[in-house]
Amino acid sequence: MTPRPTRTYLDWNATAPLHPAARAAMVAALDITGNPSSPHAEGRRARGIVEDARERIGASLGVAPRNVYFTSGATEAANWVLSPTAATGQRMPLAALLVAATEHTCVLAGHRFPAERVSTIPVDGQGLVDVAALAARVAELTRQHGNGSVMVAVQAANNETGVLQPMAQIAEALAPHGALLVCDAVQAVGRMPDVPKADILLLSAHKVGGPKGVGAVAFASEAVSPEPLIKGGGQERRQRSGTENVAGIAGFAAALEAAIATSSQAIAHARQLRDTLETGLARIHGGTVVFGASAPRLPNTTCFAVPGVAAETALIALDLDGMAVSSGSACASGKVASSHVLAAMGAPIETARGALRLSTGAATTQQDVEAFLAAWHQFIARRAQRAVA
């Protein structure tokens, strides 16, 4: 029997391991000396790498390559495009931004919209946006401010729960009002077979096996053009200044292509792992709650809690046992805060505080899931023993 590795990585939604194709593309690009803006041969070689990546990412997403702009990640992408200046030409500036309550924090704040023009779209207990209520609100704002005056931000897949929003239905509901749809596609692209249809897609390389610190905005049309956020040398056709991260961009294209090419196998694999995991969780503790269990979900994501078990304590114990998992809560600063996603879904605070998120990927095995279940079983049993002692 092969010995188990010392660590079990079940946190692919936080970041996915670097794909070998991305590593190879990056290593090759790191040896290119030129600055992509330099007109000499060295510069042209670097430019060639960036433009080749743009072509391939555009083709993968089904958008014109010239409408793909590289950024330092999805956070910067959101900061750039969530702006009243992102209008379609006829109406400046946009009058309102509607943001789904379960958006990632990089979208939730609304960024360059004045706070009074930002409002939240509620979700139901499964984390799904009520499309009819959203359409009614957009219709009301459109009556007040005119066609094309509203921006709506809805993510395709939630990073904590994996819940998938009905993006096609949302796009259809917004179309008669000319509302601009921004979709944070970070967790969905490369993990689901279809690329969400939206006016603006936000993307991040490191969730699909690319490097950290690279992302992109993909516009469906050239008519949408928010005021640049980062100004300087005028790179990215003046939309995003700063010397391009050539190696990172090369890695992003390679990773995205690889993820899309294998997404159907990845989905089938993730479903099998999820079945083992969720059946095991229910067996270990009958009170286990899986958040968003009845909604369409990314098959690689399970966000669950056992009432009364604090996520922080569980995370530490599991980490000591070799398990890399995440709390379902935001913990960017290293501190576990209560999750706005679970709160928006109406989860009781006591249950939400115990939320753990497991997310798998191509390299995750049944053995990994079983190792997690064994560690979780031990943790729950130790707690029960302490409670009777």
Measured from the CB atom, the residue of 184 and 244 that comes closer to ligand PLP is: 184
The sign of the dihedral angle between the CA atoms of 37, 39, 45, 49 is positive
CB contact at 8 A, 373 and 281? yes
The residue at minimum Cβ distance from ligand PLP is 73
Q: Which of 106, 183, 303, 331 is catalytic?
A: 331
Query: Which range touches ligand PLP (CB under 6 A), out of 23-31, 53-61, 68-76, 264-272?
Result: 68-76
Among 19, 54, 104, 177, binds ligand PLP (CB under 6 A): 104
DSSP state of 42: H
Site for ligand PLP in 212-231 (CB under 6 A): 215
Asked if 204 touches ligand PLP (CB under 6 A), the answer is yes
Q: How far is the CB of 355 from ligand PLP (least distance, A)?
A: 15
Measured from the CB atom, the residue of 77 and 369 that comes closer to ligand PLP is: 77
CB contact at 8 A, 251 and 23? yes
| Active site (annotated) includes residue 106 | no
Asked if 102 touches ligand PLP (CB under 6 A), the answer is no
Exposure letters 8-40 (e unless 16+ CB within 10 A, then b): bbbbbbbbbebbebbbebbeebeebebbbeeee
Measured from the CB atom, the residue of 153 and 224 that comes closer to ligand PLP is: 153
Q: Please state the separation of Cα 267 from the chain's center in Å.
A: 16
CB contact at 8 A, 298 and 194? no
Query: Which range touches ligand PLP (CB under 6 A), out of 70-78, 132-140, 189-197, 339-347?
Result: 70-78
Measured from the CB atom, the residue of 106 and 270 that comes closer to ligand PLP is: 106
Element (H, E) at 51: helix 41-61
Cα–Cα dist 278/302, whole Å:
8
Q: How far is the CB of 79 from ligand PLP (least distance, A)?
A: 9
Asked if 54 touches ligand PLP (CB under 6 A), the answer is no
CB contact at 8 A, 196 and 178? no
Measured from the CB atom, the residue of 47 and 104 that comes closer to ligand PLP is: 104
Site for ligand PLP in 316-375 (CB under 6 A): none
CB contact at 8 A, 164 and 137? no
Cα–Cα dist 118/82, whole Å:
10
CB contact at 8 A, 156 and 218? no
In the shown chain, the binding pattern of residues 149 to 188 toward ligand PLP, with x for contact by CB under 6 A and - for none, equals ------x---x------------------------x-xx-
Measured from the CB atom, the residue of 73 and 299 that comes closer to ligand PLP is: 73
Q: How far is the CB of 91 from ligand PLP (least distance, A)?
A: 28
Q: How far is the CB of 300 from ligand PLP (least distance, A)?
A: 13
Structure tokens at 71: 């950024």
Q: How far is the CB of 77 from ligand PLP (least distance, A)?
A: 8
Starting at the earlier edge strand, list the strands of the sheet with 289-290. Answer: 289-290, 301-305, 356-359, 326-327
Q: How far is the CB of 248 from ligand PLP (least distance, A)?
A: 11
Q: Dihedral of the CA atoms 198, 196, 156, 59 (nearest 10)?
A: -100
Rule CB under 6 A: which residues touch ligand PLP? Answer: 73-75, 104, 106, 155, 159, 184, 186-187, 204, 215
Active site residues: 331
